[in-house]
Structure 1
């Protein structure tokens, strides 16, 4: 069974209380996801603390991606997001993620830290997909905008550790502790202040065959292929922009380059929150396929040029970074929105989780490749490789637009 949105009536409205429900869930998401980049934000300090080299430091971020994949695949195989109340699952994931992140304070070295980061990522797989599903129970007519706000909250949560790190040059231990407490607070808010909307998805029986059957629907497949191209670019950009910008500032002789790079990175990643809102509005009113293609075209263009701009004025580099940060995530929620609209409604949570899992698998090679290619060929080539994802995503979205004769995929 598929629930098709109806956008034909100008007077159609989502129910009273939907925006309050969204506010609570978005706040919970913002707080709960801060542990994602907690270690990445303090990589320079951890490099000194544990005596790491650049290649080793990358695994602190890659480990979270791998953990998320493991957790998401496990959740999809067991259909947890369709069998357990979403907000209860969010609370459980947030509590365990906060604990695993906090244990970094006791980690004696890199390998124990990597294990804890894997566990953190796996636990966050019980936060992100259920939050998206819980939000969708509140909206039918402005779902793209609402999901955009949710991903905007995720974006701010991902940027927050850079802000914490930049404020006064805090010790890495304080950054880790602060993000753990924020994640715990997010889970508590979701469970005890949140509520379910009037459009619940049906509960699903455990059926492992449904896991891979979700991609037999061509529209779900194309929406997911677009998402995979988007993910090829997104997390590598988020993970390595701070290092790129710090080296740019140092090249220009800026004092305290690391601290100012942290503030700049917070602004660049945080700009994506506004991008998510704009992407949602465009998706609801202009069409999801067109909106996502536009976002990927702009972000891919930024990826192609920014790495070659280190000799340019710092403010110009930052400006291009802000444009990149705005558009690189503006399309993210629209891929998820498409899945909630066209997938089998009994297994929306499973479809979302599987889409996310495969998408995050693709983040691992790009996060690993960036420092390797940068050392061999410079930032221009390294960031330029990320543009391959948007190109593939645009092709998928054009195919979806052609296939959507009735406008489900193209207009949402």
Structure 2
């Protein structure tokens, strides 16, 4: 079980998951590091207000290209996943740190965020691959902790911005890059290749298409795609939602960075909870419940913007922040369980790649609508995703 590719492997298998979770949290803090300091970037580099959508999409696009390349080359299946994780963490940290260069403009910032996203392709899906190599049973619960770490890591730059309010904004980039380096080192030193790993011997372009031959896999993949249409658009626009509510209700003043962290970060607890619930209710059933609830939130959003009760509004966003991501580890579990063992890494990576392509479409759609209207009805557009996800999961009773 213990391979020779690590220097100080964790001998107690119970500590493997905590190490993976901590590493995932540290490295995924790179994801929204630009969003956490977006106002400072706009001010310091003379960007337009629409830069939020462009910079967020640049990360997503980089992730898409990265995951596509990783999948085509079967990187996570051919090489030690922990080493892939380390190299990706180091590169991601370097390009994230490049944002602090004073000579940046919109073009260079977009390139830097693109490259950060590219190397996140060797972190998020590879982290799930590592967990899948260790936990054949109870994978849903394990991925619940892992995706929970992603959620908290994604939200962390917002909290970090609040904590470092009296310091230069560059501290957010310095801290997140340092965390990424730490996470990569922990993974390669303490987590050897798992006992259920079946390495692939060669790169096959056809592998990306082979995984879609199984009808069960196609169903869960489309369930994941529907989920992704909503998820990252919601996360990206949480600060905008809070700002919009404050403008509509001038008597209300929000601490936007802190609330953004709370609303997004609470999803981490929901991921862990959904993993436990799935053991009783079933993985597919629990994922469908989360999709129904998040879809309902999309449709109700315009009504909640109209309430004068800010506590009710924040409570609604917190609930939405939970259900919007609660199905994520469950859908990833279904992807892993409905693909061949030797293609598990490729399957997780290609589904992530296509899923994040969909996030660009939803983020850019909302960004364009936001420039043309101040109506909060635009958020109902996100309901398309949960509807597709529910349809895909309902359409195949053979999903295991």
TM-score, length of structure 1 as denominator length: 0.90
2:238 is aligned to 241
1:309 is aligned to 304
Once the two structures are superposed, the pairs formed by residues 4-403 of structure 1 within 5 Å of their partners are: 17-106=12-101, 107-169=103-165, 170-253=167-250, 257=254, 260-312=255-307, 313-400=309-396, 402=397
Q: Alpha carbon RMSD of aligned pairs, Å?
A: 1.6
| CA drift at 1:283 | 2.4
- Is 1:21–1:197's contact at 8 Å kept on the other side of the alignment? no
| CA drift at 1:195 | 3.1
TM-score, length of structure 2 as denominator length: 0.93
| CA drift at 1:54 | 2.4
| CA drift at 1:202 | 3.5
Equivalent residues, number: 387
- Is 2:291–2:323's contact at 8 Å kept on the other side of the alignment? yes
- Is 2:80–2:193's contact at 8 Å kept on the other side of the alignment? no
Distance in 1, matches of 2:99 and 2:177, equals 10
Distance in 1, matches of 2:385 and 2:357, equals 13
- Is 2:164–2:171's contact at 8 Å kept on the other side of the alignment? no
Where do 5+ consecutive residues of structure 2 fail to align? Answer: 1-10
Distance in 1, matches of 2:145 and 2:198, equals 21
Distance in 1, matches of 2:181 and 2:98, equals 14
Distance in 1, matches of 2:168 and 2:366, equals 27
Distance in 1, matches of 2:285 and 2:252, equals 43
- Is 1:249–1:261's contact at 8 Å kept on the other side of the alignment? no
Where do 5+ consecutive residues of structure 1 fail to align? Answer: 1-15
> Which is further off, 23-32 or 334-343?
334-343
